[in-house]
Structure 1
Amino acid sequence: MITVSACLCGVNCRYDGRNSYHNALMEKLASEDFLPVCPEVLGGLSVPRTPARIIGGTGYNVLKGTARVINDKGRDVTGAFLKGAFAVLAILQEHSVSRCYVKDKSPSCGFGKGSLANNRITGVCSALLDQKGIQVIEIPSEK
């Protein structure tokens, strides 16, 4: 069993109320069983919602308590991001998931290996899954 960021499956759960349907990924996974998940929604955030970003590090730092997730209105939403990440982890463990496809450039799901300067950081949920040994595969947006 695998999981996929729900927005990549066409679920309108992004911060802007839209989705990031990824045709190539859905074609690749057409014959596989997978679970769509959205950590931000599982954490209790609404759709649509104010965009948020990690301040002071990466998702790994948020897990350690040394960085926060702050939305564009200045509200600290770290608790919701952590709640959602741990909810996703529980679902993955319940279903023996070993692989997860995630949306790039997301403060929850991104699994970028670049620098903070180019917004290619690892999000809170992806950091947690990576720490737990689950294979995280970042899917870039289709053009």
Structure 2
Amino acid sequence: MQKILVSACLLGEKVRYDGGDSRQSGLIAQWQSEGRLISICPEVAGGLPIPRPPAEIVSGSADAVLRGRGSVQRQNGEDVTDAFVDGAERALALCMKHQIGFAILKEGSPSCGVNSVNDGRFSGIKIDGEGVAACLLRRHGIDVFSEQEVEQLALLLND
């Protein structure tokens, strides 16, 4: 059975920066009951606490962060880049260990954003882009989907 990496918050784990979750029903819940999902919160895996101050990619893109040319910071300027990179590497290691080729990640997150992230000014405005973990997984050939794209993944898995 094909395993799928999934953001822990989507399974109802209270790991979001605000101590909450983003539980999903439908296919994600079904796949969870079938034992297909391997969960991770890259931010927590990288050593950040729950709850934690929000962070955003403030300089460069996720790709720039992974190349050491960008940063992830909290609103007070505290640099948390290393924790985000470490968490992304741990997510990739799980994929390699379990031979995972697909991931469902939380849209909008600076770690897991698939198509959008915050603008880096703590304005609440989303821009096109991806999170650090999503970027690293894609670099290594893992197909990444947001929680809004689960149906597309289901079509691929049924082929």
- TM-score of the superposed pair, with normalisation by structure 2: 0.81
Deviation at 1:67, TM superposition (A): 1.1
Stretches of structure 1 lacking an aligned partner (at least 5 in a row): none
When structure 1 is superposed on structure 2, of 107-116 and 34-43 the one drifting more is: 107-116
Alpha-carbon spacing, 1:115–1:5, altered in 2? closer, same or farther (3 Å): closer
**How far does the alpha carbon of each residue in 1:26-58 deviate from its partner, in whole angstroms, 9 at most, with x for none?**
245243511111100000000000100001222
> Which residue does the alignment assign to 2:138?
130
Q: Deviations over 1:73-98 (max 9, x none)?
A: 21000000011110111111011000
Determine the C-alpha separation between the residues in 2 that align with 1:108 and 1:59. Answer: 8
Q: Structure 1 stretches (4+) deviating beyond 4 angstroms?
A: 113-117
**What is residue 49 of structure 1 aligned with on the other side?**
52
Correspondent of 1:20 among 22, 37, 42:
22
With structure 1 as the length reference, what TM-score do the two structures score? 0.90
Structure 2: runs of 5+ lacking an equivalent: 120-124, 149-159
Q: Which amino acid aligns with 2:23?
A: Y
Q: Is the 8 A contact 1:50 1:73 kept in 2?
A: no
Whole-Å separation in 2 of the counterparts to 1:131 and 1:8:
23
Matches within 5 A, 1:87-126: 87-112=90-115, 116=119, 118-126=126-134
Q: Contact between 1:104 and 1:111, CA under 8 Å: does it hold in 2? A: yes
After superposition, residues 17-96 of structure 1 pair within 5 angstroms as 17-29=19-31, 30-96=33-99
Aligned residues: 140
Deviates more, 1:28-37 or 1:48-57: 28-37
The 3-state SS of whatever aligns with 1:23 is coil
Distance between the aligned counterparts of 2:70 and 2:147, measured in 1?
24
User: Which of structures 1 and 2 has the bigger CA Rg?
Assistant: 2
SS at match of 2:26: helix
- 1: CA distance between counterparts of 2:57 and 2:27? 27
Q: Please, what is the CA RMSD of the aligned residues?
A: 1.8
Q: What amino acid sits opposite 2:146 in the alignment?
A: E
Question: In structure 2, how many angstroms separate the alpha carbons of the residues matched to 1:137 and 1:57?
Answer: 22
Identity across aligned pairs (percent)? 39
